[in-house]
Amino acid sequence: MTAILDIRDLVTVFHTDRGPVRAVDGVSFTIARGETLGIVGESGSGKSVTAQSIMRLLEPPARIEAGQVLFEGRDVLAMSQSELADWRGASAAMVFQDSLTGLNPVLRILPQVSEHVVAHGRMAPPAARRHGIDLLRRMGVASPERAAAAFPHQFSGGMRQRVMLAIGMANEPSLLIADEPTTALDVTIQAQILDLMAGLNEKFGTAIMLISHDLGVIGSLCRRIAVMYAGEVVETGPTAEVLADPRHPYAWALAHAVPRLDTPVTARLPSIEGMPPDPLAMPRGCRFAPRCAHRIARCDAEHPPLTEIAPGRSVRCWVTMDGRQLPPPSLPAAAAPPRATEAEAPLLEASDLIKHFPLPRKSLFAKPELVHAVNGVSLQVARGESLGIVGESGCGTSTLARLITRLHAPNAGNIRFQGQDITALGGEALRALRPRLQMVFQDPFASLNPRMRVGQILAEPLRVHGHAAPEERVAALLDMVGLNPAWAARFPHEFSGGQRQRISIARALALDPALIVADEPVSALDVNVQAQVLNLMLELRARLGLAFLFIAHDLAVVRAFCDRVAVMYLGRFVEEAPAAELFATPAHPYTVALLSAVPEPGQRRIVLGGEPPSSLRLPQGCAFRARCPVARPICAEPPPLVEIAPGRRVLCHAPGSLQKPR
């Protein structure tokens, strides 16, 4: 096998006002023809900068200061601008994370897919157009002729990412660099894109360098993996070996911080405390030493080299460089979930909730179209219980959260909270409800007012509801969520994403609520930070006896946190069950597909075709019918809600007819 890409001691420096930041610091690796290499690390570890250094896409103040990038033996760093333009997009292509900003909003799809086929002199324009449409079809874009003439904003995220892949593959490059290509996508769409990339690698022998913070994504596609931390590669080796037996403490923490579907649920997730080192003042010794549980004296004094510990495996660690293994995590198993006693009335009870939103009229006389966001949801949450709600984007989970917290009023249905009917509360009565029912939002950057100090943010609900001594309470709250009470005078931008989410949680806790509705509270966070925040929420739940309505698209996160789980599709619950049972023996075909779509090393996927149908026109009969692998004629009838076991309800004509692949 010859190396198609050979990187040696690459150093990329950002010359900031406060001093030089070595974002990539001596990175070396090779990718062989037709190979797949995964690069994993938290944000700021230098993954993306490495990729852009290879493609020479960085602009000042970033500069490549040392090292070599050899592509099939040619020195990319020595190429002239015109040689570089000939090489880029023809021999090596790149796919970026955000397909919304990555496609030019004012140009139609087809020219974006085929312009560089013409520019590289591969084809004349008419042939390139046919080639472009053919590419779109191969990438699974529905009705490619029509799509070719469309503009990017008319496409869903999954479709746009297919277009991005088509752009990357247009000249059949021998290397494709994909930077977080599926991060913004739903699991079933992510599974489709990963399948597509695996197919490209198999069929065309395209070498793939996949960058992701998600070990599952990398594990399901890549044979080899490189783990990056603070600008350095800290461990590399075959993916399966590194995941099963990580030798660098950071790789070890990453591998265990991700909640997985195939390991027992523990009371908390392993996480590493602290934050990555300040890039302006790197530690002299090992860069991970300040956070490392296995640290020895040498780690603080000397910088460890990347050392080969077995054929094809290297690690940058003084402790394990002699071939030693790191011990598996030992954490107590989770206690059995508290069973709600039948006698006690549920804390929250909602029945047959319906919410429609009218779209703006297309013309003066047209009937306004309705978005059917929530179409008949019933649920119960007992005191101290956490109910997880899982669904893909657009299926109505966020609207449901807003109905429960009465930020919206339902069109029909009934909500009772602590025995009180809150369906139609307004004014003063609604204000009196707020302290008992709080919400945590997804985006830790947008949900905190940037012009208010943290102390003011936390004291505001206290003042509004007439709390006597807000200052003391604010200090206690900060302490409760693991932040320094002295930080109350700081502004939100001075905190990291994880710390901000802690502030959001503190704000929700300020008024001693009985129920917290958390809408994707950890999905914007890095895995390790996600584990820290989940641990905090688990601890608070146990200590304060809080009930949670926990909305997430990440099934493993829901499994780690929730007692019961409901799966939502197109505004309805299609399955509801105790967490353990749902994940062990899913009954609705959609649940089965969703579980199998979660990228886990070595797992076979059921890839659902298509995308969820539009909530503008609800399908007749079963909403999942069009994508269901086991649909049958009867599914054209509305499916019944079957109770297949105590507490297990499934909305399906044939529950259990689709089995999890092994």
CB 101 → another protein: shortest distance, Å? Answer: 4
In this structure, the number of other CB atoms found within 10 A of the CB of residue 618 comes to: 15
Nearer to another protein, 59 or 344 (CB): 59
Residue length of the chain: 662
DSSP readout, 131-148?
HHHHHHHHTT-SSHHHHH
| Contacts to another protein by CB under 8 A | 52, 55, 57, 81-82, 84-90, 93-94, 96, 98, 101-107, 115-116, 119-120, 151, 153, 164, 167, 170, 362
Distance in angstroms (rounded) separating the CA atoms of residues 39 and 217: 11
CB 57 → another protein: shortest distance, Å? Answer: 6
Nearer to another protein, 119 or 282 (CB): 119
For the chain, the first-to-last Cα distance in angstroms comes to 32
Nearer to another protein, 45 or 52 (CB): 52
Nearer to another protein, 170 or 437 (CB): 170
CB 52 → another protein: shortest distance, Å? Answer: 8
Q: Go through 118-145 and write b for each residue having 16 or more CB atoms within 10 A of its CB, e for each that does not.
A: bebebbeeeebbebbbebbbbbbbeebe
Distance in angstroms (rounded) separating the CA atoms of residues 19 and 444: 28
Nearer to another protein, 52 or 442 (CB): 52
> 3-state secondary structure string, 198-255?
HHHHHHHCCEEEEEECCHHHHHHHCCEEEEEECCEEEEEEEHHHHHHCCCCHHHHHHH
Nearer to another protein, 82 or 341 (CB): 82
Candidates 126, 125, 163; CA nearest to 144 is 163
CB 24 → another protein: shortest distance, Å? Answer: 17
- Which residues are bridge partners to 533 per DSSP? none
CB 630 → another protein: shortest distance, Å? Answer: 40
CB 120 → another protein: shortest distance, Å? Answer: 6
CA 360 to chain centre: 32
Angle of helix 249-257 relative to helix 527-544, nearest 10 degrees, comes to 50
CA distances from 25 to 75, 287, 305 (A): 19, 12, 12
Nearer to another protein, 102 or 492 (CB): 102
Nearer to another protein, 91 or 528 (CB): 91
Nearer to another protein, 90 or 483 (CB): 90
Candidates 52, 341, 345, 343; CA nearest to 211 is 52
CB 89 → another protein: shortest distance, Å? Answer: 3
CB 167 → another protein: shortest distance, Å? Answer: 7
CB 2 → another protein: shortest distance, Å? Answer: 23
- Which residues are bridge partners to 642 per DSSP? 650
